[in-house]
Chains A and B, each alone.
Chain A
Amino acid sequence: MSKYTEEHLKEELASKEYEYGFYTDIESDTFPAGLNEEIVRAISKKKNEPEWMTEWRLKAFRVWSEMTEPEWANVHYEKPDFQSVSYYSAPKKKDKYQSLDEVDPELLETFKKLGISIDEQKQLAGVAVDIVMDSVSVATTFKKTLAEKGIIFCSISEAIQNHPELVKKYLGTVVPKTDNFYAALNSAVFSDGSFCYIPKGVRCPMELSTYFRINQGGTGQFERTLVIADEGSYVSYLEGCTAPMRDENQLHAAVVELIALEDAEIKYSTVQNWYPGNKEGKGGVYNFVTKRGLCEKNAKISWTQVETGSAVTWKYPSCILKGDNSVGEFYSIAVTNNFQQADTGTKMIHLGKNTKSTIISKGISAGKSQNSYRGLVQISSRAENARNFSQCDSLLMGNECGAHTFPYIESKNSTAQIEHEATTSKIGEDQVFYCNQRGIPTEKAIALIVNGFSREVLNKLPMEFAVEAQKLLEISLEGSVG
């Protein structure tokens, strides 16, 4: 038997194929490639949007046209050619399905492969699923139960049609259309996404869940999510995604806006598993996401994310702690393998008095990947007694990957208390041997060690998601032992 070295470990890690690499052949309605005002108008028209929405998109487009891509992140990639991307793709069947029988069987098959068959999901008490396939929402469940409580959970397109007053009031208030290059692009061309409104004092009785997928070759995906928790309400929102294997790089630029009004709480959990590219670093999704939440007085927003996919990730779920006593939390696990690059973290902007934020970031790097944590803690001059605790831990596997930490702290108030802790460790041969000696094979041992390392964050995920996330961690880091 050969000696187990880091070389073997690296080989194993490199040989993990993308589990969800399949492609569904569904007829799509796809726009020609390229972006100009006409395309923006056409998207808006296709979606039968009111004039104000069309104008909103056009304004965003004009701003975007003047912007250049940000280059400050610690990632290197060939920039997408924005004129070769098609900005709209919808499965051809336009009518909403009355029952599952009417849904394209091939689509259902796809969901089954992903392990998220709607049948199962329907029966899973407490989980309502709004599935976004490519760009158009094709199935929404549990609507009735939610409607009884006055909760609105639908696609953003439907919300624009049916609840224009809410969309008009809040869309772009947390992430302005001019915020950054990708947010502006998204604002101009967003295809669909989810909308959620929880009325005053209502505690949403189930976890709201959306699965995103990229399906059509060469189409960009521009999701737009808007979650509004009215005064004293509570909602837990789950977002998960897996994408089929594609050769060319695919662009994903989503915007998520959360609004937690007085005394409200939003828990937003993400499991991200976009196609990371093959082990030579070819292909994979570019994930440039803007996620931000606004907390009014006594409100709380928790972001929890498990990031295992994408070739390039650029993502900083943030909290603006505007109201006094508001709380922001960020719990993150980011895994990179092979040639993946991730630059992810958070911004905690303390504006109100007695605001509190917690940041727990766990980065796991393997192969030749680069994993960066980038975080900003900003305390404004009127944020008396603001408190922050940050902990950034990195775990390295092998000698060719990198872990980087870029913490930025800006405090303009002397009463602020800011703590930052950071550690870097390596999976040791002695740890693996210890597990082996107890009868635990190397693959399982690595999974165990990684899960242990990620424990604090996994514990923050809702139960059903935690199991999935744990599985994903194993999938991302293990291969068959050769």
Chain B
Amino acid sequence: MTMLSIKNLHASVEDKEILKGIDLEVKAGEVHAIMGPNGAGKSTLSSIIAGNENYEVTEGEIILDGEDISELAPEERAHKGIFLSFQYPVEIPGVSVTNFIKTAINEGRKAKGLEEMPANEMLKKIREKSELLEMDKKFLSRSLNEGFSGGEKKRNEIFQMAMLEPKVAILDETDSGLDIDALRIVANGVNKLKSPENAVVVITHYQRLLDYIVPDFVHVLMDGKIVKSGTKELALELEEKGYDWIKNELV
């Protein structure tokens, strides 16, 4: 079943076209990797799927689970199951990790007409998911992302993903700023959260992360277009030959 379908997506920022017609089909249970050189439009794509209004969608559709979400507010997309693990998660001083995720979960429930999650259930879930990501208890009471190391920030992103249980998780450069141990923990978390009911889109510059989160499909994004798609072997090939190889092939 198709989970996320992107059709002929064009987008620009301040009249500069960044995405020039993206097509992507992601089925439930699949992991897709989007790779590409700097400035290819990888982060723009993830921001647009999440509904960041700094970009203008000029053409095309984003369909989640059969429903066009391209006109929805970012929070509505989140409620419907889109999750973005940010490349640079923001700090919110004075708001604890626990309080933040509690608010996020309850706002999602409110949108679905459900009561707030009972405190004991919330607590149990927080405990379970934080263990999955090998998080220290003290970490949960700290202000969101304030003074966090790169690894802690990314681990916290995946913790939130675990708590929110999205249909489609987009991991934007989740490997950047991570040492090898943190990378292993984060990847391990993502792998445990994978199921036949959800899908993961990994956006990365390097193939390193793909040793841990093994993709079913790899797409190469260059100059606002997907120029090549393949299986995980494509990532290895890119690692070996660099992006120029594809550029040359295209010419």
Contact = CB atoms under 8 A, between A and B. Distances in A.
A455 B142 CA distance: 13
Contact of A3 (B53, B90, B100): B53
Q: Which 3 A-B pairs have the closest CB atoms?
A: A452-B94, A455-B94, A452-B95
Given A441-B107, A452-B143, A436 B90 contact: no
B74 A433 contact: yes
- Interface secondary structure of B, over-half rule: mixed
B72 A1 contact: yes
B71 interface: yes
B13 to A, nearest CB: 11
Contact of B104 (A431, A438, A455): A438
Contacts of B74: 433, 436-437
A108 interface: no
Interface stretch (B78-86, B186-194, B211-219, B220-228): B78-86
A440 B95 contact: no
**Range, interface on chain A:** 20 to 34
Given A437-B50, A437-B75, 14 more contacts: A1-B53, A3-B56, A4-B53, A433-B53, A434-B89, A436-B51, A437-B82, A438-B78, A438-B101, A439-B78, A441-B107, A448-B100, A449-B95, A455-B95
A440 B103 contact: yes
Interface of B: 50-54, 56, 71-75, 77-79, 82-84, 86, 89-95, 99-101, 103-105, 107-108, 111, 143-144, 160, 164
Interface in A401-456: 428-431, 433-442, 444, 448-449, 451-456
Contact of A438 (B56, B111, B164): B164
Interface of A: 1-4, 428-431, 433-442, 444, 448-449, 451-456
Contacts of B111: 439
8 contacts: A434-B89, A437-B82, A437-B84, A439-B75, A448-B92, A448-B100, A451-B94, A452-B93
Contacts of B143: 452
A360 to B, nearest CB: 12
B90 A438 contact: no
Contacts of B50: 437
Given A3-B53, A452-B93, A453-B93, A440 B75 contact: yes
A428 B90 CA distance: 9
Contacts of A456: 94
Given A430-B90, A437-B78, A439-B75, A451 B164 contact: no
Contacts of A454: 94
A441 B86 CA distance: 18
Nearest to B50: A437
Given A434-B86, A451-B95, A452-B93, A444 B54 contact: no
Contacts of B83: 437
B104 A440 contact: yes
B147 to A, nearest CB: 14
